[in-house]
């Protein structure tokens, strides 16, 4: 187990976490505001393996608002906190800037490194285009389980979103709006271009047919450009996520690699005024092409 993870905070911009033995910057958590049309929100990019290989993409030319690993809300009570064009049933994706909102950083409650664990605890506010306060979020990003033997490390992402409107917040997706099998919303990972056609692995199957299915975890494995070898990214649900409104997986390996445990794939999720929606996920970043048994064993040996 690695010790002494290092944190550097460039105030007002980003936080980096570095593993001291390899010297690899594992991630950069960026919280500065960016282009309004891209629905400004904090994100993680680059995300790297212990070998130093990048396993996220940033502002790709097909979707400029895709930024590494981030929390999104593609359809939220008529607003778009995802970025870019908005899906309208029967008309497709339209440039509707008046629908595009933001998730704004308001402060940190904790940025600490304690040996083999880093904690970034942040407060955010969610807004539609006109700037009204729709929600407050308490977010906690933790880096842990850095293991030089298995060449892997883990990130736990917890978000608690409280509705501050006087009416319910309705979380949806393009699929709830009428587009088949496009239920993306919630935590979203955009893989690098090299991961196109990468292997999609689930507990009981594999391949693009896992789009829209349910399960405790899902993984994408791909081969790098510019460096020899593969990497595997796994996203796993915390046990408590299954209650109330179970998620369905959004996953692709063509025309790009993406993975998201969607909050509202087929059905809208309603959050009443004053109530809080909490979700927790583990993201495992590993060197090498892990098999199903490797992933299952890893998760079994590291219980929540």
- In the chain, what is the straight-line distance between the N-terminal and C-terminal CA atoms, in Å? 18
Query: Listing from the earlier edge strand, what are the strands of the sheet with 269-271?
Result: 75-76, 169-172, 269-271
Coil, helix or strand at residue 235: strand
Per-residue pLDDT tens over the stretch 189-215: 999 999 999 999 999 999 999 999 999
> Is a pLDDT exceeding 90 seen at residue 1?
no
Provide mean pLDDT across the span 285-300.
Answer: 98
- How many degrees, rounded to 5, is the angle at CA 87 between CA 86 and CA 90? 140
Any idea which residue has 């933790």 for tokens?
142
The 10s digit of each residue's pLDDT in 57-93 is: 999 999 999 999 999 999 999 999 999 999 999 999 9
pLDDT tens digits, residue range 87-142?
999 999 999 999 999 999 999 999 999 999 999 999 999 999 999 999 999 999 99
Q: pLDDT tens across 17-65, in order?
A: 999 999 999 999 999 999 999 999 999 999 999 999 999 999 999 999 9
Domain annotation for the chain: domains and CATH numbers? 6-301 (2.70.98)
Residue 243 has a pLDDT of 74
DSSP 241: G
Tokens of 62: 């097909």
Q: Tell me, what's the pLDDT at 242?
A: 75
Residue with tokens 């008309």: 91
Helix (H, G, I), strand (E, B) or coil at 258: strand
Select from 29, 26, 56 the least CA-distant residue to 41: 29
Structure token digits, residue 219: 């993984």
What pLDDT, on a 0 to 100 scale, did the predictor assign at position 3?
Answer: 66
């Amino acid at each position: 187990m690695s010790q002494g993870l290092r944190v550097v905070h460039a105030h007002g911009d980003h936080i980096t976490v570095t593993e001291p033995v390899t010297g690899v910057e594992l991630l950069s958590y960026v919280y500065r505001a960016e282009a309004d049309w891209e629905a400004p929100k904090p994100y993680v990019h680059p995300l790297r393996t212990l070998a130093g290989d990048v396993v996220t993409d940033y502002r790709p030319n097909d979707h400029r608002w895709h930024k590494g690993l981030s929390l999104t809300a593609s359809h939220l009570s008529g607003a778009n906190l995802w970025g870019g064009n908005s899906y309208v049933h029967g008309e497709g994706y339209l440039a509707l800037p008046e629908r595009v909102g933001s998730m704004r950083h308001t402060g940190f409650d904790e940025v600490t490194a304690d040996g083999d664990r880093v904690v970034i605890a942040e407060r955010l506010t969610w807004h539609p285009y006109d700037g009204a306060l729709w929600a407050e979020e308490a977010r906690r990003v933790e880096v842990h389980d850095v293991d030089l033997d298995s060449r892997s490390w883990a990130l736990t992402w917890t978000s608690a979103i409280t509705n501050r409107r006087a009416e319910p917040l309705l979380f949806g997706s393009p699929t709830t709006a009428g587009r088949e099998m496009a239920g993306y919303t919630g935590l979203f990972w955009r893989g690098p271009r090299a991961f196109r056609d990468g292997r999609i692995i689930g507990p009981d199957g594999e391949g693009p047919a896992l789009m829209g299915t349910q399960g405790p975890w899902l993984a994408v494995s791909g081969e790098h450009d510019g460096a020899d070898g593969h990497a595997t990214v796994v996203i796993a649900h915390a046990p408590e996520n299954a209650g109330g409104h179970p998620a369905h997986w959004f996953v692709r390996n063509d025309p790009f690699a993406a993975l998201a445990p969607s909050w509202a794939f087929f059905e809208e999720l309603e959050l009443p005024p004053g109530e809080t929606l909490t979700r927790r996920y583990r993201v495992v970043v590993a060197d090498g092409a892990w098999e199903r048994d490797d992933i299952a064993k890893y998760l079994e040996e590291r219980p929540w």
